[in-house]
Amino acid sequence: MSLDTRALATFVKKNPLLIACIVLGLGLLATLYMRSGLREEQQAELAQKSTEGKRYHENLINAIRLDDELKAVTEANRVARERAIKPANLAENLQYFYRLEAETGVTYTDLRQQGVAAAKAPDPKKKSKEPPPAYVPVTYSISVEGDFPKIIAFLRSLEHGVHFYRLNSLIASGTGPKVTLHLNVDLLGQP
C-alpha cells in the first residue's frame, strides 16, 4: 500500500479540521517537551526571588527603627569609651584602685598593672576586612586584706565601679577575722 501525493492531498482537503488538530497537537507536544526542563529552573528561581523579597521586606520594616538603634548604639559606645581606661596613664589607673581601698577599708598587699594585651596589627600580606579592636584588656594583679565584710564591700565596689572589669581568677585564704584575697582582673582599656 503506497501512499501517493494525490491521495494525501485529497485526504487533507477532505479533513482539514483533523489535520489542523494533529498539527496543533504535535506543536503542543513539542512545546511541552521543550519547556519541561524549564519548570524546575523556574521553581528554583521563584523560591530564590521569594526569599529575596521577604528579606527586602524585613529590611524595610527594620529600617524604620534604624535611626533610634543607631542613636542607642552611639550612646552605648560613648559610655563605654568614657568608662574605659587609658593603659598609658598608670598613675591615674592605680588611683582608681586606691579610691576603692579608701572607700571599703581593705588594705592592699600587692597592686600591679601586669600589662596590656597586644592588639593584633593587620598583616600587610593578607587583606583583612576585620577592623582593629576598639578595646583591649588591661590586666591587674591585686592582693587585698581585710575582714570578711570589707572584702565583700571591696568586691561589690569593684563590680559596680566606674570601669568595666572581668575577673580572671580569685583565691581567698585566711581564717579568723582576717581574709586575704588574690585577684587577677582585666579592666577595659582603649588601645
Q: 109 and 148 share a domain? A: yes
pLDDT digits over 120-162, tens only? 545 556 666 777 777 888 999 999 999 989 999 999 999 998 9
In a domain, residue 54? The reply is yes
Is 42 buried (19+), middle (13-18) or exposed (0-12) by CB count in 10 A? exposed
Q: What angle do CA 185, 82, 85 make, to 5 degrees?
A: 35
pTM of the model: 0.60
One domain, residues 146 and 185: yes
- Sign of the C-alpha dihedral, residues 13, 17, 18, 19? positive
pLDDT score for 87:
85
Q: Are residues 59 and 95 in the same domain?
A: no
Domain residue limits at 148: 90-189
Contact 104, 157 (CB under 8 A): yes
pLDDT at position 1 over 60: no
Tell whether 105 and 153 lie within a shared domain.
Answer: yes
Around 142, how many Cα atoms within 13 Å sit in the side-chain half-sphere? 28
pLDDT in tens, 173-191: 987 788 999 999 998 888 7
The total domain count for the chain is 2
In a domain, 83, yes or no: no
- The answer as to whether 77 is a domain residue is no
Residues 49 and 117 in one domain: no
Question: Does residue 142 contact residue 122 with C-beta atoms inside 8 Å?
Answer: no
CATH number for the domain spanning 122: value is 3.30.70.60
Nearest-angstrom CA–CA distance, 191 and 189: 6
